[in-house]
């Protein structure tokens, strides 16, 4: 009999030769058939386009044959203050968005977990998920109206209290606040799903034991719920860290001339260079740079996950 | 056993469903291609040709023997007739008249130039597409479009069109695009009924113009916004404030200059800053879009709005009056110093990937046909008889729009009163509303042509960054976050860093 402190041994599958592997594939052939369309779509839409990264090393516009320029596009990028400004904006906007998103999602999940009526809980969950399904274009249009300094609801309240209206979307400082709030409004509900699932898995006996020990409601949350889902919180945080540079839609739809410098991120920089200037070489180079940084972040995330959970996200 | 069979069937069904879903991603394009890629069989083409009216026959008999009629022409559009308003009937009519199948794709306007560039990158370019002034020089300089000058000069079209139009669209003496129509010009509309209420005349000077807006704001309770515009970057939208200054590069006495660096631009910035500070300009001018400006005008809360003349003049009046009884959208003549300008000419181009022989065919049987002053022009202007228009005496009477019966279809591809060639059919006149005629009369008399946007290697490289910096500086100056002097200094720094002088040298051939 194993003692309770003994570490579980990891299952190591027996090694198989090529013939045995083929037999396995044949055995599970219908599953492979099911997987085939997904595999093909991955190849066509995700892997084959990787071939295009070669244009990062070419002077390439859509109208003429590409010319090899080596590292020139990267040299142009790295010497451009605008590129580094976009990089800095991306890191700032994404990082704050990430932390706020995590804090509010966990908080909302804990609140939803406290709801005892199943019906009310389901309705609440459905309502908080809805904003996630609204496109950023629609969200931007709605909030532009709400935040209008002349006819918006928010400024109507501000002026009712005797203050001057605020042009939220055209002020550098306020624009960022609005950006974070809109992201919270849109994605917090969706972000709760995984935490609610994790909370559902917490052993109820722990709450009962805490109650018997005289723990207050808040103490049960603080000493039982949060520690119980802490590994989930960390895993989600690390996974999101890898996506920190993927910022485009939410910024692009809210941009305007007055805040264009403080809201220019790598995604919009790539768009401007590629679509506005038709300079596909520089645009691809900046996209490639973003991908390399993302790979580094994913590797770090994987390493951290290994340290925390004993196994990595990537295996 | 049965369980295995069921598993297999489920697997196959799921795999098929996923494959179908994946294929569905490109459904729209595929549908368009399928419908449009059906080549016209030779027999039906011949039959259609034989059914073509006399004018087509005549045109064919005048054509040089070596220019054969093409079976198919591929054409991309992003404006004009859409599917809901009888596009299918129009293409069928075109094929019936000419025997040519148009392989047409409608691209949403906001995606058009992105998709066109991608089409070039993937060598799947349509044979015919249109380019606006901002793109024409770029595509021409990259050798992406055919030089149409030889075809144009050997055709009847050259002499039928006002030479000023060929001058305006030519790049270094070569014509790469044939305009579908004369460009629209913008003029300033003011609330004529408010002027009457205040017993005021239309303003003639800048001071009178500002005074008018002040009084609108102060004395007309409905006037919430003095003057609205979609942004502050366009001299065309704010002619009273720009007063001849240019936001971009412009040509003067044969020499290209950087408009943003000129003294008159600093003066324009000062005027905008002062007016914004005083509350005469729309507080949300920076984040406005064209549609939000139009909506505010229709609601009746705007005093002044600069917009297209002609057809839009009619629409601005109709929609304003619908919401505000007795309201008048009065097009005014430009105040002293202000300049109304036409939009940059845009035109139909032929891809450089098309063979010379096919290009000649397209020019002859498509470009010339749409400006023939007869059957072809009528088809491109007013559409299909019985679907888009009907005969009413000697006039073409537009029929209710198929998609929106509350409106009528006044034009399909070419606006009748903006055609570059005169209509020769005497029983196909087009009646126009007063609001259309009035605004057109003003802009036709005073508006100036906007030259094609220039292009140079360095400019291509810096365009995106330069535009970003200029937009930022101008917005901050207008909103008072920067003084005009600071704005001028900031731009001088940007221009130096981005080497704008090199752009000017390249444009001026130095």
Give the DSSP per-residue string, A217-259. HHHHIIIIIHHHHHHHHHHHHHHHHTTTT---HHHHTT--GGG
Mean pLDDT of B265-287: 96
Lowest mean pLDDT: which of A198-212, B9-23, B142-156? B9-23
Tokens encoding B33: 């291609």
Give CA–CA dist B126/A285, Å, rounded: 29
Q: Could you give the strand order of the β-sheet that contains B347-350, starting from the edge strand earlier in sequence? A: B101-106, B72-77, B128-131, B347-350
Averaged pLDDT for residues B326-347? 92
Residues of chain A positioned with their CB less than 8 A from the CB of B463: 276-277
Q: Strand pairing of B225-228 and B302-308?
A: parallel
The answer to whether residue A27 is domain-embedded is no
B496 touches chain A (CB under 8 A): no
In a domain, A271, yes or no: yes
What is the per-residue pLDDT for B182? 86
What mean pLDDT, rounded, does chain B reach? 85
- Residue B98 to residue B45: CA distance in whole angstroms: 8
**Residue A203 resides in a domain:** yes
Rounded distance, CA B205 to CA B311, Å?
A: 27
pLDDT (0 to 100) of residue B237:
94
Do A271 and A260 contact (CB within 8 A), yes or no?
no
Tell me what ipTM this predicted complex has: 0.80
Is position A280 within any domain?
yes
Q: Which of A251, A273, A110 is nearest to A180 (CA)?
A: A251
| Contacts with B, A 71-90, CB within 8 Å | 80, 82
CB B269 within 8 A of CB B484: yes
- Scanning B256-410, the segments in alpha helix (DSSP H) are 263-278, 290-299, 311-323, 356-362, 368-370, 375-382
Is pLDDT at B385 greater than 90 in this prediction? yes
B38 phi, psi to nearest 5 deg: -65, 110
**Where residue A103 sits, what CATH number does that domain have?**
1.10.3720.10
For residue A29, the model assigns a pLDDT of 92
B120 at interface of A, judged by CB pairs closer than 8 A = yes
* Residue A284, domain member (yes or no): yes
Q: Which residues of chain A does B286 touch, with a Cβ-Cβ cutoff of 8 Å? A: 167, 170, 256-258
B172: left (phi over 0), alpha (psi -120 to 50) or beta: left
Using a CB–CB cutoff of 8 Å, tell me whether B8 touches chain A: yes
Report the range out of A260-274, B221-235, B387-401 with the highest average pLDDT. Answer: B221-235
Residue B329's DSSP bridge partners are B191
Section B158-186 average pLDDT: 88
Q: Max Cα separation, chain A? A: 81
Distance in Å from the first CA to the final CA of chain B: 84
| Region B199-207 average pLDDT | 96
pLDDT of residue A80: 87
Chain A contact for B44, CB < 8 A?
A: no
Query: Average pLDDT for residues B374-396, to the nearest whole number?
Result: 92
| More confident site: B64 or B121 | B121
Return the DSSP state at A52. G
pLDDT reading at B168 higher than 90: no
Q: Which of B113, B135, B284, B475 to mutate to test the interface with A (most CBs of A within 10 A)?
A: B284
CA angle A102, A108, A112 (to 5 degrees): 145
The whole-number pLDDT of residue A8 equals: 60
Q: Is the pLDDT of residue B148 over 70?
A: yes
Interface membership of B117 toward A (CB under 8 Å): yes
Identify which has the larger pLDDT, A274 or B125. Answer: B125
The angle that helices B311-323 and B434-446 make with each other, rounded to 10 degrees, is: 140
**Contacts A257 to B, Cβ<8 Å:** 231-233, 286, 471-472, 474-475
Query: Residue ranges of chain A with pLDDT lower than 50?
Result: 1
Q: Are A89 and A262 in contact (CB under 8 A)?
A: yes
Residues of chain A positioned with their CB less than 8 A from the CB of B464:
272-273, 276-277, 279
Residue B227 near residue B278 (C-beta atoms within 8 A): no
Residue A148 lies in a domain: yes
Q: What is the DSSP string of A136-150?
A: HHHHHHHHHHHT-TT
Give the dihedral of Cα atoms A74, A80, A85, A91; nearest 10 deg.
Answer: 10
Instruction: Tell me the pLDDT band of B28, cut-offs 50, 70 and 90.
Output: very low
Express as a percent the part of chain B with pLDDT over 90: 58
Nearest to B224 among A31, A150, A261 (CB): A150
Most confident listed range (B14-28, B36-50, B131-145, B311-325): B311-325
- A65 belongs to a structural domain: no
Predicted local distance difference test score (pLDDT) of residue A59: 87
Q: A224 and A210 in contact (C-beta within 8 Å)?
A: yes
Closest residue in A to B480 (Cα) is A258
Give the pLDDT band (50/70/90) at residue B65: low
Interface size between A and B, measured as CB pairs under 8 A: 104
The structural domains of chain B, ordered by start, are 42-183+346-392 (3.40.190.10), 186-340+452-507 (3.40.190.10)
Question: Averaged over B214-240, what is the pLDDT?
Answer: 95
Average of per-residue pLDDT across B322-328: 93
Provide the pLDDT for residue A3.
55
Q: Is it the case that residue B233 has pLDDT exceeding 80?
A: yes
Q: Is the pLDDT of residue B263 over 50?
A: yes
Model confidence at B20, pLDDT cuts 50, 70, 90, reads very low
Residue B428, classified by CB atoms within 10 Å of its CB into exposed (0-12), middle (13-18) or buried (19+), is buried
Both tokens of A236, joined, read 């989600």
Q: What residues make up the domain containing A212? A: 80-309
Interface residue A275 vs chain B (CB under 8 A): yes
- Are the beta carbons of A41 and B15 separated by less than 8 Å? no
Our count of domains for chain A comes to 1
A41 part of a folded domain: no
What is the reported pTM? Answer: 0.78
What three-state secondary structure class fits B150? helix
pLDDT exceeds cutoff 90 at B214: yes
Query: Looking at the DSSP assignment, which residues form a beta bridge with residue B190?
Result: B304, B330
């Amino acid at each position: 009999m194993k003692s309770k402190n003994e570490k579980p041994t990891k299952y190591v599958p027996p090694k198989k030769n090529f013939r045995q592997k083929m037999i396995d594939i044949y055995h599970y052939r219908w599953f492979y058939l099911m997987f085939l369309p997904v595999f093909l779509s991955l190849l066509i839409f995700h892997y084959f386009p990787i071939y295009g990264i070669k244009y990062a090393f070419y002077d390439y516009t859509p109208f003429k044959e590409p010319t090899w320029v080596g590292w020139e596009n990267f040299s142009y990028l790295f010497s451009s203050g605008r590129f580094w400004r976009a990089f800095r904006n991306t890191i700032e906007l994404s990082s704050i968005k990430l932390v706020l998103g995590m804090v509010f999602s966990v908080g909302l999940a804990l609140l939803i977990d406290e709801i005892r009526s199943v019906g009310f809980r389901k309705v609440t969950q459905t309502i908080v998920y809805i904003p996630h399904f609204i496109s950023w274009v629609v969200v931007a249009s709605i909030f532009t109206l709400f935040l209008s300094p002349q006819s918006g609801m928010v400024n109507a309240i501000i002026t009712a209290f005797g203050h001057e209206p605020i042009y939220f979307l055209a002020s550098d400082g306020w624009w960022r606040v609005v950006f974070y709030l809109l992201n919270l409004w849109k994605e917090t509900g969706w972000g709760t799903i995984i935490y609610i699932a994790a909370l559902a898995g917490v052993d109820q006996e722990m709450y009962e034991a805490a109650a018997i020990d005289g723990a207050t409601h808040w103490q049960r949350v603080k000493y039982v719920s949060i520690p119980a889902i802490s590994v989930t919180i960390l895993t989600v945080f690390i996974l999101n860290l890898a996506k920190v540079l993927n910022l485009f839609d939410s910024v692009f739809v809210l941009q305007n001339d007055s805040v264009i410098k403080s809201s220019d991120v790598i995604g919009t920089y790539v768009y401007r260079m590629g679509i506005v200037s038709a300079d596909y070489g520089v645009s691809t180079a900046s996209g490639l740079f973003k991908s390399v940084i993302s790979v580094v972040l994913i590797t770090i995330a994987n390493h951290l996950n290994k340290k925390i959970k004993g196994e990595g996200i990537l295996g | 056993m049965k369980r295995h069979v069921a598993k297999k069937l489920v697997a196959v069904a799921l795999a098929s469903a996923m494959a179908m879903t994946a294929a569905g991603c490109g459904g729209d394009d595929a549908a368009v291609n399928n419908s449009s890629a059906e080549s016209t069989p030779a027999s039906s083409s011949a039959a259609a040709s034989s059914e073509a009216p006399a004018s087509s026959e005549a045109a064919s008999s005048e054509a040089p023997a070596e220019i054969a009629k093409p079976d198919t022409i591929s054409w991309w559009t992003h404006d004009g007739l859409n599917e809901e308003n009888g596009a299918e009937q129009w293409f069928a009519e075109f094929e019936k008249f000419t025997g040519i199948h148009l392989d047409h794709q409608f691209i949403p306007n906001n995606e058009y130039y992105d998709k066109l560039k991608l089409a070039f990158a993937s060598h799947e370019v349509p044979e015919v597409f249109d380019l606006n002034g901002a793109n024409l020089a770029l595509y021409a300089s990259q050798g992406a479009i055919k030089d149409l000058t030889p075809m144009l000069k050997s055709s009847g079209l050259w002499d039928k069109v006002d030479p000023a139009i060929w001058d305006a669209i030519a790049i270094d003496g070569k014509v790469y695009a044939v305009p579908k129509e004369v460009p629209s010009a913008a003029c300033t509309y003011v609330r004529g009924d408010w002027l009457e209420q205040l017993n005021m005349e239309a303003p003639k000077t800048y001071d009178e113009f500002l005074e008018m807006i002040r009084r609108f704001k102060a004395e007309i309770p409905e006037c919430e916004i003095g003057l609205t515009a979609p942004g502050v970057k366009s001299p065309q939208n704010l002619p009273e404030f720009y007063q001849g200054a240019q936001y971009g590069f412009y040509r003067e006495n044969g020499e290209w200059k950087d408009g943003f660096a000129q003294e008159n631009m600093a003066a324009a910035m000062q005027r905008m800053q002062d007016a914004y500070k005083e509350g005469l300009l729309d507080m949300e001018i920076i984040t406005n879009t064209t549609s939000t400006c139009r909506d505010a005008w229709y609601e009746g809360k705007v005093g002044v709005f600069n917009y297209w003349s002609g057809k839009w003049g009619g629409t601005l009046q109709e929609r304003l009056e619908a919401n505000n009884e007795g309201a008048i959208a009065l097009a005014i003549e430009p105040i002293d110093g202000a300049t109304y300008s036409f939009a940059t000419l845009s035109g139909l181009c032929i891809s450089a990937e098309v063979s010379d022989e096919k290009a000649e065919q397209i020019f002859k049987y498509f470009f010339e046909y749409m400006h023939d002053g007869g059957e072809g022009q009528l088809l491109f202007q007013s559409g299909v008889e019985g679907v888009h228009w009907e005969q009413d005496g000697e006039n073409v009477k537009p029929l209710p729009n198929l998609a929106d019966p509350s409106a009528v279809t006044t034009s399909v591809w070419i606006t009748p009163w903006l055609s570059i060639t005169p209509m020769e059919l005497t029983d196909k006149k087009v009646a126009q509303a007063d609001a259309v005629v009035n605004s057109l009369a003003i802009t036709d008399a005073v508006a100036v042509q906007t030259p094609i946007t220039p292009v140079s290697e360095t400019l291509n490289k810096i365009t995106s960054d330069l535009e970003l910096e200029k937009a930022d500086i101008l917005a901050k100056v207008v909103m008072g976050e920067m003084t005009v002097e600071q704005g001028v200094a900031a731009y001088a720094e940007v221009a130096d860093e981005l080497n704008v002088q090199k752009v000017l040298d390249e444009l001026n051939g130095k």
